[in-house]
Structure 1
Amino acid sequence: MSVMEKDTRSVILATGQAIMGRKGFSGVGLMEILAEAGVPKGSFYHYFKSKDAFGEALLDAYFADYLAAIDAILAKPGLTGAERLMLYFANWRENQSTSDCQGRCLAVKLGAEVADLSEPMRLALKAGTNGIIGRMQIMIEAGAADGSLRVPGQAADLAATLYYQWLGASVMVKILRTHDPFEKALEATRMALGMHAR
């Protein structure tokens, strides 16, 4: 694929991510994406076989960027495991705001919707969320090793539980139009990790 082709494909994906982040997967037609991207309709099928294939590529690109952002937190020097985890959740709260998140919260926006529509998109969501949980596990294990966190049980189970909790809080933020669910999730996270005495 040439540089120009990669650029066109990236523009279509970025435009789709922004629009679907606002409207969902089913609420957006290909023509709307292509018109906003400034790409002719025929070009779409050069890059994607179908809307479902586009959705799968969209989720793959979204999670690649998301996981790279977590990897940047993991690579920051001089932080404890607890500090890395709290930085991750601070970024989560910022990106999952009650205002228009412009595609930054695609897993929250599309998760329940597309999991029942397309098996490839469900698998892309599963792979992406497993990648997030795995990185959270690394931060939790690092915190247990450096003494900044008290971890009861298995770090993998705790990472999954915290992710599910924050995912639910993100949905409730959208419903309630307040950040209170994030505050409750943060408090529960601190309790689960033994951070209250600090």
Structure 2
Amino acid sequence: MRKDTKQRLLEVGLDLLLQHGYNDLGVQTLLTASGVPKGSFYHHFRSKQDFALQVVDRYMREVHAGLDACLSAPERAPLERIHTFFALSLEKYGREGYRGCLLGNLGQELSAASDVFRYKIEWCFAEITARIAVCLEQARLRGDLPPDTDVHHMADLLLDCWEGAALRSRLQRDPAPLRAMLDFHFNHSAA
């Protein structure tokens, strides 16, 4: 039961953080939405910050699982694998109402106020781009990208563009910015 309570708080918390952000999410709102008593929250988390950081960890497990599933599909070309990851992310965003990326949202909200969140989110982004860079290197070696492509820079740029488009999609509640970003990147990055 203990693990179930914590997982319930993290699951509901992820949804509420995407909906409200960190500053506008009160612990009582989380407890009410999850049906968990206040004492249970403080049994599992030292503070609201500890809770949000653990939600980020849970979110990253989902992101890593998605990356692993898409990027390790040898039957597809490397660029197609990367495109598939982002296309599936776009579909997920749509199911969730285009509320954006938890990392991007929290980064925009908290990076100026909290070094803890700034470092954590930057680390998460670095983990994502490192995995994408490996796949981009495979594309470069296959000749799908120019031989002098800096795959780490390209991975960073791809994620930066994605996060900007995710913000625009969130503002507009529309997938068009994300679709345009993917179309542009994958139609112009090939050799």
Tell whether 2:69 aligns with 1:78.
no
Runs of 4+ in 1 over 4 A off after TM superposition: none
1:179 corresponds in structure 2 to 175
Q: CA RMSD in A?
A: 2.1
Q: Residues of 2 paired with 1:75 and 1:52: CA distance?
A: 34
Task: Mark the CA change 1:179 to 1:98 in structure 2 (over 3 Å): closer, same or farther.
Answer: farther
Q: In the alignment, is the contact (CA less than 8 A) between 1:98 and 1:173 conserved in 2?
A: no
Give the aligned partner of residue 32 of structure 2: 35
**Alignment partners' CA distance in 2, 1:76 and 1:69:** 11
Q: For 1:66 and 1:98, how far apart are their aligned partners in 2? A: 16
Q: Distance in 2 between matches of 1:95 and 1:151?
A: 34
- Per the alignment, residue 64 of structure 2 pairs with 67
Instruction: Tell me what 1:147 maps to.
Output: 143
CA distance in 2, matches of 1:36, 1:98: 20
Separation in 1 of the partners of 2:7 and 2:96? 25
Q: Does 1:57 align with 2:54?
A: yes
Matched, 1:127 2:127: no
Please identify, of 171-180 and 55-64, the stretch whose mean Cα deviation from structure 2 is larger.
171-180
Displacement of 1:180: 2.7
When residues 33 and 180 of structure 1 are mapped into structure 2, their CA distance, relative to the original with a 3 A threshold, is same
Count of matched residue pairs: 191
How far 1:151 moved relative to its partner? 5.8
CA distance in 1, matches of 2:95, 2:147: 31
CA 1:31–1:185: 2 relative to 1, 3 Å: same
Paired letter, 2:78 = G
**Structure 2: which amino acid aligns with 1:117?**
A
Offset of 1:154 from its aligned partner? 1.0
TM-score normalised by length of structure 2: 0.89
Question: Any conservation in 2 of the 1:136–1:159 contact (CA below 8 Å)?
Answer: yes
The normalised TM-score by structure 1 is: 0.86
Query: Quick check: 1:59–1:121 contact (8 Å CA) kept in 2?
Result: no
Aligned to 1:112, the other structure's residue is in SS state helix
**Aligned-partner residue type, residue 95 of structure 1:** K
Give the drift of 1:150.
Answer: 3.5
C-alpha displacement at 1:99, in angstroms? 5.9
In the other structure, the counterpart of 1:89 is 86
